[in-house]
Amino acid sequence: MMGTAKATINAIHFMEARVVGHRRRRRPPSQLDWFIYGHDRAAKLIICLRLEKLRRRYEHGDPEALLEALDICCRGYWCPPPWVMSGYVNSYEAWRSYKMPTLDAAFGVVRHYDSKQLKSLREQEEARVFIVAQTERLRRRGESVSKDLFRQVGEKIGRGATFVSDVLYAPASAVLRKLFEKIPMS
């Protein structure tokens, strides 16, 4: 359906080969390092479908969808659709002309977190793509999704099976799980 998605496969192999000295706890590459799939023409269908879902969310009042769509377009060097350009320009202009006091207010987004959870949320977000990709890859190789699989993935990043399970089944990982189910991997 989408070709080989060679960039995705190369990115996953790159992550596995990455070693950080002799430290016991290794960090997976950030999503910025990993999100190469946007450069691959084979990912265009997935990106178009994702942008359409985001457009519907934005039209139904979810302002975060605008920023997510802009992020996807910028990472993949895709031209943003008109609704993204218009939404961005209107929000930025409201902030620049002092109609809104902050960029958060201009774009209508607010971070909801307890300051004590911030470190944990950062760690989860940093590991999310790696965990979802590795779990899907091992699942396709015939391994059952179990505590052993989570432990195996966790060893690669210096974390436990519970951390891997929590990140994998978090609502923020749902889109990535669907994405990796559709992308062919070796």
Please say whether the beta carbons of 130 and 12 come within 8 A.
no
Give the Cα separation of 65 and 184 in Å (integer).
Answer: 27
Q: What is the pLDDT of residue 67?
A: 94
- d(C-alpha 18, C-alpha 86), whole Å: 40
User: From residue 29, how far is each of 42, 92, 120, 121 by CA, in Å?
Assistant: 23, 31, 16, 16
Instruction: Give per-residue pLDDT as tens, 49-98.
Output: 889 999 999 999 999 999 999 998 888 888 899 999 999 999 999 999 99
Q: What is the pLDDT of residue 132?
A: 93
Q: Where are the alpha helices (DSSP H) in the chain?
A: 6-17, 31-34, 44-59, 64-76, 82-96, 103-107, 118-140, 147-157, 161-168, 174-182
CA–CA distance, 135 with 167 (Å, rounded to integer): 11
CA distance 157 to 178: 22
pLDDT in tens, 10-34: 444 444 444 334 344 444 444 433 3
Tokens of 35: 């999100």
- Quote the CA–CA distance of 73 and 68 in Å, as a whole number: 9
Q: With helix as H, strand as E and coil as C, how does 20-56 read?
A: CCCCCCCCCCCHHHHCCHHHCHHHHHHHHHHHHHHHH
Q: Is the pLDDT of residue 159 over 80?
A: yes
Residue 83's identity, in one-letter code, is W
The predicted model scores a pTM of 0.57
